[in-house]
């Protein structure tokens, strides 16, 4: 809710209170007025409390206090479960845990459908899908059906599409296309990620290390370090420990890993169609008679 919306909401409630007061003045029993005033006051506080909880939740997220942020978002969710800003924040917190991956992505997707201009949420969801090995889903977030036609051709979105394409099908041609974009922290990140995760004919990890060491944006460098392996040049474990302390609001740094277990993505793990049970086994009735021996029961299941 923006500032002007809140002012209009308060003005509307004030007008309603005036109408109630005028009506109640004509009534013989003024108890109705007191009840109506009480209900209206509760409505007023409810309208003010909900956006406060959402704002407080995001503030707690920025400080890395995810448990307290989750509590604020959950309370707000009980009142307005369709609030897109709330869904985005709640989804980002749930994305930290492997077990709530599917719920998190669903909430974040629903939020983006109503708030297509939320670029922070879009980038976080792209990173989440890439971390889960779901490059196609990440690519779809910058497709023509997810963003406006005008924005589709902007350089920022073209960069993301090219970077994801490099991760999917690495090669000299796509690398050259990626290098043609203006220098930015996102370009360096995507190129380094392509070197680390792409299936190149020869190992490109050394090139990723060079990009990592040359990055001016330390937060992006930290988020890249999560994907890299230890080298003589870089002590990643100590670097990541310091990164998580310095950037508590970075979801990439705080998230449980790996998101992908073996060759099976979490979306498959949560797919109910994979667990279609067959006919249940018949459980034999065990007679109460003490003469029936346990071995006889096992022979006749």
- Counting Cβ atoms within 10 Å, is residue 216 exposed (0-12), middle (13-18) or buried (19+)? exposed
Q: Per the CATH hierarchy, to which homologous superfamily does domain 54-129 belong? A: Tetratricopeptide repeat domain (1.25.40.10)
25, 31, 34, 38 alpha-carbon torsion, rounded to 10° = -140
pLDDT computed for residue 155 by the predictor: 95
pTM comes to 0.72
Nearest-5° angle of CA 49, CA 255, CA 93? Answer: 15
pLDDT computed for residue 50 by the predictor: 55
Strand boundaries in the chain, DSSP class E = none
- Give me the residue label for tokens 């490059």: 135
pLDDT computed for residue 176 by the predictor: 97
CB 103, CB 94: distance < 8 Å: yes
Reported residue count of the chain is 301
Domain boundaries of the chain, sorted by first residue:
54-129
Dihedral sign of CA atoms 223, 229, 234, 237 in order: positive
Distance, CA of 62 to CA of 270 (rounded, Å): 30
pLDDT computed for residue 181 by the predictor: 98
- Counting Cβ atoms within 10 Å, is residue 280 exposed (0-12), middle (13-18) or buried (19+)? exposed
Backbone phi, psi, residue 215, to 5°: -70, 130
Distance, CA of 37 to CA of 172 (rounded, Å): 71
Helix, strand, coil % in the chain, rounded to nearest 5: 65, 0, 30
Structure tokens at 107: 């909430």
CB 200, CB 173: distance < 8 Å: no
Q: What is the mean pLDDT of each run of 10 residues along the chain (301 residues)?
A: 46 51 48 48 45 90 94 92 94 95 96 93 96 95 90 95 97 97 96 96 93 93 92 83 95 89 48 40 48 48 50
Distance, CA of 25 to CA of 37 (rounded, Å): 13
């Amino acid at each position: 809710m923006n500032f002007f919306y809140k002012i209009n909401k308060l003005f509307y409630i004030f007008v309603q209170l005036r109408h109630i007061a005028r009506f109640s003045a004509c009534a013989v029993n003024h108890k109705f007025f007191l009840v109506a005033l009480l209900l209206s006051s509760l409505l007023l506080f409810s309208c003010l409390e909900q956006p406060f909880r959402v704002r407080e939740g995001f503030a707690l997220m920025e400080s890395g206090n995810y448990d307290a942020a989750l509590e604020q978002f959950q309370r707000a969710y009980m009142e307005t479960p369709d609030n897109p800003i709330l869904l985005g924040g709640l989804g980002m917190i749930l994305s930290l845990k492997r077990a709530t991956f599917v719920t998190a992505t669903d909430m974040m997707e629903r939020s983006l459908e109503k708030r297509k201009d939320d670029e922070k949420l879009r980038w976080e969801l792209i990173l989440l899908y890439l971390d889960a090995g779901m490059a196609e889903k990440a690519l779809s977030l910058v497709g023509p059906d997810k963003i406006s036609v005008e924005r589709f051709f902007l350089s920022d979105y073209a960069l993301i599409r090219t970077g994801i394409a490099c991760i999917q099908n690495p090669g000299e041609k796509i690398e050259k296309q990626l290098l043609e974009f203006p220098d930015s922290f996102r370009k360096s990140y995507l190129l380094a990620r392509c070197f680390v995760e792409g299936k190149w004919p020869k190992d490109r990890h050394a090139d990723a290390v060079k990009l990592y060491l040359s990055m001016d944006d330390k937060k992006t460098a930290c988020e890249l370090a999560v994907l890299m392996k230890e080298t003589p040049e870089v002590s990643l474990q100590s670097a990541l420990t310091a990164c998580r302390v310095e950037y508590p609001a970075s979801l990439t740094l705080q998230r449980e890993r790996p998101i992908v277990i073996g060759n099976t993505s979490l979306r498959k793990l949560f797919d109910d169609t994979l667990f279609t049970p067959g006919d249940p086994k018949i459980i034999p009735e065990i007679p109460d008679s003490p003469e029936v021996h346990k071995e006889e029961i096992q022979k006749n299941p």
